[in-house]
Amino acid sequence: MVTVGPKVMADMSPIDSYPVRFVYNVVQIILCSYMCVEAFMIAYRNGYPVLPCAPFDAENPPAANLLWLFYVSKVLDFMDTIFIVLKKSWRQLSFLHVYHHCTIFLFYWLNVNAGYDGDVYLTIVLNGFIHTVMYTYYFVSMHTKDIWWKKYLTLMQMIQFVCMTTQALYLLTTGCTSYPPRIVVVYAGYILSLLFLFAQFYVNSYTKKPTAKNA
């Protein structure tokens, strides 16, 4: 999509898929809200502890169905990339965007196959919430560009990654083996790479004073 898309669009005028994006954002708000609350409810109903190291039930995993839905929803997220390509908004087709979308999909393929229960629920609570706020932001931005809380959205995304890293480090340092430890190691490294990229985006977007060049 990222390599072929720009070539296909080269001779075409940009397409602003307003009606599709309108419905898409509302659907994403509803779906992400559901996944966030349902992940919390699964943890609550199954008596997961407040601190990490929840039980992992390989036979009847209570979180598996929801995790599968979360994985499939990452396919739906690729629509974001399609909208960018159609709009020929190449600046938005950043390394952060492409890296994030591709790797998260591969990572949850791994989770669906090997880490499909227990502590994985927290990533759905956190990411479901952030995605709800993010698609709400996209929806509001279809009405006005004047959104004072834009930078707080990026901040919330970074707080999300800090929570996820903390959970992973807790699992590793306490020697918890209910969730596959090798996945946790890869996960911690991966989330830190995202935290770094988002922090870089935050600094570039909100802290640098505009110069004549990029004003």
Interface residues toward a second copy, by CB under 8 A: 26, 29-31, 33-34, 36-38, 129, 132-133, 136, 139-140, 143-144, 146-147
- Distance from C-alpha of 147 to C-alpha of 179, rounded to nearest angstrom: 40
Q: Looking at beta carbons only, is 123 or 165 nearer to a second copy?
A: 123
- Distance from C-alpha of 114 to C-alpha of 131, rounded to nearest angstrom: 24
Q: Looking at beta carbons only, is 154 or 178 nearer to a second copy?
A: 154
Closest CB 26 distance from a second copy, rounded Å: 7
CB 28 within 8 A of CB 76: yes
Closest CB 139 distance from a second copy, rounded Å: 7
**Residue 169, C-beta contacts closer than 8 angstroms, at least 6 positions apart:** 188
Three-class DSSP category at 99: helix
Beta strands in the chain (DSSP E): none
- Distance from C-alpha of 48 to C-alpha of 116, rounded to nearest angstrom: 15
CB 51 within 8 A of CB 173: no
- Active site (catalytic) residues: 100
Closest CB 177 distance from a second copy, rounded Å: 32
Q: Looking at beta carbons only, is 44 or 196 nearer to a second copy?
A: 44
Closest CB 203 distance from a second copy, rounded Å: 26
CB 29 within 8 A of CB 144: no
Q: Looking at beta carbons only, is 37 or 82 nearer to a second copy?
A: 37
